[in-house]
């Protein structure tokens, strides 16, 4: 094991311990392929599953793996033909057994931070799907809640506006201007600080840089 691999595992274990005090399950996987297997293991075959917009779960191949297994009922908005179908899938997601997402940042103490423009993702995270599984690259872990919010707002959001080519000030210079633009992707800022002790939230930390 290299020093980086060892450090990633140590950091992940510290975060997982913190999560357990907030009644949130946590697992560490050194690689994306291990994480895909872990997520599939956590979801019994026959379950229904949906997910929020996430470069992490797309880039790591999790969505492709979900479709490939043909073991789940998937609500995939990318398969929608019309804006109305997209809206219908957003609503179907609330009744899913599982909802998959990454995070925009999380603290070493276990606070989970997500920012949303439309609100469908943070709404489903907050309530609806029976279980929510977060897949988190090691790069998303910040020192504390303040640093996590700063990361989400100052790093993740401007990268996403550039990716989406939004008409927002951060798309022009890569820096958050705390805008009130109608095109802002920062309309909803959601923080999970604790969970009911019902096993609804689970975090799979991956020892790789994933997403933004
Ligand atoms: S400038 Fe606006 S859209 Fe861009 S990161 Fe800041 S709040 Fe979000």
Determine the residue of 113, 159, 161 to mutate for testing ligand 1's pocket, defined as the one with the most ligand atoms within 8 A of the Cβ atom: 161
197 exposed, middle or buried (CB, 10 Å; 0-12, 13-18, 19+)?
exposed
Q: What is the pTM of this model?
A: 0.95
Q: Where does the pLDDT of residue 156 fall: very low under 50, low under 70, confident under 90, or very high at 90 and above? A: very high
Which residues, other chains included, contact 76 with Cβ-Cβ below 8 Å and sequence gap of 6+?
Answer: 50, 51, 63, 67, 89
Strand, coil or helix: 10? helix
Position 117 pLDDT exceeds 80: yes
Residues with CB under 6 A from ligand 1: 157-158, 161, 168-170, 176-179, 181, 184-186
Q: Which atom of ligand 1 sits closest to the CA of residue 157? A: 5
As a whole number, the mean pLDDT across the chain is 96
Q: How far is the CA of 117 from the centre of ligand 1 (A)?
A: 10
> 3-206 in CATH: which number?
3.40.50.10420
Q: What is the pLDDT at residue 22?
A: 97
Position 101 confidence tier, pLDDT thresholds 50, 70, 90:
very high
Q: pLDDT value at position 197?
A: 77
- Residues 129-149: tens digit of each pLDDT: 999 999 999 999 999 999 999
pLDDT of residue 53: 86
Ligand 1 atom nearest the C-alpha of 181 is: 2
- Integer Cα distance of 26 and 34 in angstroms: 14
Ligand 1 centroid–CA 189 distance in Å is 12
CB 60 within 8 A of CB 135: yes
Question: What is the CA(132)–ligand 1 centre distance, in A?
Answer: 26
pLDDT in tens, 41-100: 999 999 999 999 889 999 999 999 999 999 999 999 999 999 999 999 999 999 999 999
Domains of the chain by residue range: 3-206
Whether residue 198 is predicted with pLDDT greater than 90 in this model: the reply is no
- Percent with pLDDT over 90 in the chain: 95
């Amino acid at each position: 094991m290299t020093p980086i691999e060892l450090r990633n595992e140590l950091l992940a274990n510290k975060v997982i311990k913190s999560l357990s005090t907030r009644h949130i399950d946590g697992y560490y996987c050194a690689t994306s392929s291990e994480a895909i297997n872990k997520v599939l293991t956590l979801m019994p075959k026959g379950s229904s599953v949906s997910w929020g917009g996430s470069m992490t779960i797309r880039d790591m191949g999790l969505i492709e793996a979900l479709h490939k297994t043909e073991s789940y009922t998937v609500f995939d908005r990318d398969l929608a033909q019309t804006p109305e179908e997209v809206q219908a899938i957003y609503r179907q997601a609330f009744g899913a057994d599982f909802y998959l997402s990454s995070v925009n940042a999380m603290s070493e103490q276990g606070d989970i931070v997500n920012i949303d423009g439309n609100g469908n993702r943070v709404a489903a995270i907050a309530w609806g799907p029976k279980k929510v599984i977060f897949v988190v690259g090691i790069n998303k872990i910040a020192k504390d809640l303040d640093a996590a919010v700063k990361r989400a707002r100052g790093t993740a959001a401007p990268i996403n506006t550039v990716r989406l080519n939004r008409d927002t000030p951060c798309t022009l210079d890569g820096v958050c201007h705390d805008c009130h633009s109608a095109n802002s992707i920062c309309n909803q800022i959601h923080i999970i600080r604790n969970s009911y002790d019902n096993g609804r939230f689970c975090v799979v930390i991956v020892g790789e840089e994933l997403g933004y």
